Amino acid sequence: MSKKNLFLITVFLVVIALFVQLYTKKDKRREDSPIGKPIAGIGLVESIDEIVIGKGETTLHLHKKSNGWVITEKNGFPANTQKLVELLDTVTTYRLSALITKDESRLAHFKLQYRAEAKSSDETSGTELTLKSKGKAVFKMVAGKNRDSVSSNPNLAARPDGTYVRIGESPAVYLIKENFSLNPQTDEWIRKALITMKTDQIKTIRFESPSSRFRFARKDPSEKLLLEDLKNSETIDEQAVKDMLTELETFSIENAISRSDNPEKRLELQSEVSVMLFDNTTFNFQILVKTEKIPLEKKPNDEKKTYYVNISTVDTASGKSDWLELKELGKTWLFELEAWQAKTWLKTRKEFIKSKDKN
């Protein structure tokens, strides 16, 4: 082999080596880039035992206990598990779509300063999310302002079209294509479904109020719940019964109020309801109301009514954990209802029946 050919082969091999090295570095840079990757790794989900959400002066702490997640600021009231699942699903599936800037001076513009960094927290900081394991932060981020879409139609207002986020302490600003928001308000995270039950296992439902007393009953789960002492000229309003059973299938609340200062003493009893299942579980509750005059209204008799449910007794021979938990919650909390929820339990006998000639 001539010296010239040997030289050419050597140069060729050097070029190949340089090309391979350059390509490898480029490929490594692509692997190291967070673009296209989820906000947080899926592996964090199993290891965390605390979630902290903060915005302005409000901070929410969610802790994982042996029996589930609870809200620290709500004296350990159960957290909404579905909402937690949705949050963790969001941060492990939403992907970083673009790097916007690494200029630290731009963080305030995108509302991505941490509260400790911000001079005016409402204007320059976003909503912080911290995931912890055994007291140590394993992930933190800030969700900032939304990117507004630009419409070619001048009559259409801009709308949110993605969210700017910051991961960890890095000043890098990323964009995710989805609209992402976090709410640190305690009442948004409480578990609103107190108990669920199979409606075909309900044996009796008894209503008592100052103006009415009646009972629904059946002997077998396969039968319909019938109103006792039904007259020949009367028939059951099937829709009203269906609505009642739907409310019992998932017995939900709007908020929970601590019993520490005996709030029920300031409320008026409206009705008492007793539910018995075929396994002899009994669930008794009261509907209470707080009536307030509305000031500065044109109508002098206008009033605001707020309804509450008081869990008076829960007895279960089955020892099921969900009923036992409800019993314990009832000792510590009074529960607020929406007016439409309370309406079901304030019905009189007359509202569950209709005359046969109206069918």
10-22: per-residue pLDDT in tens?
544 444 444 545 4
Task: Give 45: exposed, middle or buried? Use CB within 10 Å, 0-12, 13-18, 19+.
Answer: middle
On the question of pLDDT at 307 being above 70, the answer is yes
Are 303 and 211 in a shared domain?
yes
Are 131 and 217 in a shared domain?
no
Are 348 and 224 in a shared domain?
yes
Q: Residue holding tokens 């140590």?
A: 136
What are the two backbone dihedrals, phi and then psi, of residue 146, each rounded to the nearest 5 degrees?
A: -85, 150
The verdict on residue 21 lying in a domain is no
Q: Of the given ranges (285-289, 299-303, 340-344), which has the lowest mean pLDDT?
A: 299-303
The helices-and-strands tally (H runs, E runs) of the chain is 7, 21
Question: Which of 79, 335, 329, 53 lies closest to 185, judged by CA?
Answer: 53
Are 166 and 260 in a shared domain?
no
Residue type, 102: K
On the question of pLDDT at 314 being above 70, the answer is yes
pTM: predicted TM-score of the whole model, two decimal places: 0.81
- Given 172, 188, 204, the domain boundary residue is 188
Element (H, E) at 95: none
DSSP category for residue 135: T
The verdict on residue 345 lying in a domain is yes
Confidence grade of residue 264 (pLDDT, cut at 50, 70, 90): confident
Top pLDDT among 282 and 23 is at 282
Are 147 and 239 in a shared domain?
no
Domain extent at residue 299: 193-358
On the question of pLDDT at 317 being above 60, the answer is yes
Confidence grade of residue 260 (pLDDT, cut at 50, 70, 90): confident
pLDDT of residue 27: 46
- Given 188, 210, 241, the domain boundary residue is 188
The verdict on residue 125 lying in a domain is yes
On the question of pLDDT at 136 being above 60, the answer is yes
On the question of pLDDT at 6 being above 70, the answer is no
Are 232 and 118 in a shared domain?
no
Q: Encoding tokens for residue 246?
A: 């739907």
The verdict on residue 10 lying in a domain is no
Are 226 and 347 in a shared domain?
yes
Confidence grade of residue 67 (pLDDT, cut at 50, 70, 90): confident
On the question of pLDDT at 86 being above 70, the answer is yes
Cα 311 to chain centroid, rounded: 23
pLDDT of residue 154: 58
pLDDT tens digits, 72-85: 999 999 999 999 99
Element (H, E) at 13: helix 3-32
The verdict on residue 4 lying in a domain is no
Q: What angle do CA 199, 202, 206 make, to 5 degrees?
A: 120
Mean pLDDT (the chain) is 87
Question: Which of 67, 69, 192, 58 lies closest to 132, judged by CA?
Answer: 69
pLDDT of residue 104: 94
The verdict on residue 130 lying in a domain is yes
Please enumerate in sequence order all residues whose Cβ is within 8 A of that of 283, keeping only pairs 6 or more positions apart, or say none. Answer: 195, 274, 275, 276, 277, 311, 313, 314, 323, 326
- CA–CA gap between residue 146 and residue 110 (Å, rounded): 8
- CA–CA gap between residue 61 and residue 81 (Å, rounded): 14
Are 274 and 333 in a shared domain?
yes
pLDDT of residue 123: 74
The verdict on residue 85 lying in a domain is yes
Number of domains in the chain: 2
pLDDT of residue 263: 85
Please enumerate in sequence order all residues whose Cβ is within 8 A of that of 100, keeping only pairs 6 or more positions apart, or say none. Answer: 110, 164, 173, 174, 175
Question: Which of 169, 121, 109, 172 lies closest to 145, judged by CA?
Answer: 109
pLDDT of residue 8: 44
Greatest mean pLDDT among 146-150, 182-186, 208-212, 228-232: 182-186
On the question of pLDDT at 44 being above 60, the answer is yes
Q: Of the given ranges (23-37, 169-183, 220-234, 237-251), which has the lowest mean pLDDT?
A: 23-37
Question: Which of 165, 131, 115 lies closest to 52, judged by CA?
Answer: 131
Are 129 and 214 in a shared domain?
no
On the question of pLDDT at 25 being above 50, the answer is no
Please enumerate in sequence order all residues whose Cβ is within 8 A of that of 42, keeping only pairs 6 or more positions apart, or say none. Answer: 92
Are 182 and 209 in a shared domain?
no
**Does residue 340 contact residue 311 with C-beta atoms inside 8 Å?**
no
Are 251 and 342 in a shared domain?
yes
The verdict on residue 290 lying in a domain is yes
**Does residue 175 contact residue 163 with C-beta atoms inside 8 Å?**
yes
Are 130 and 206 in a shared domain?
no
- Given 134, 158, 188, the domain boundary residue is 188
For residues 120-147, average pLDDT: 90
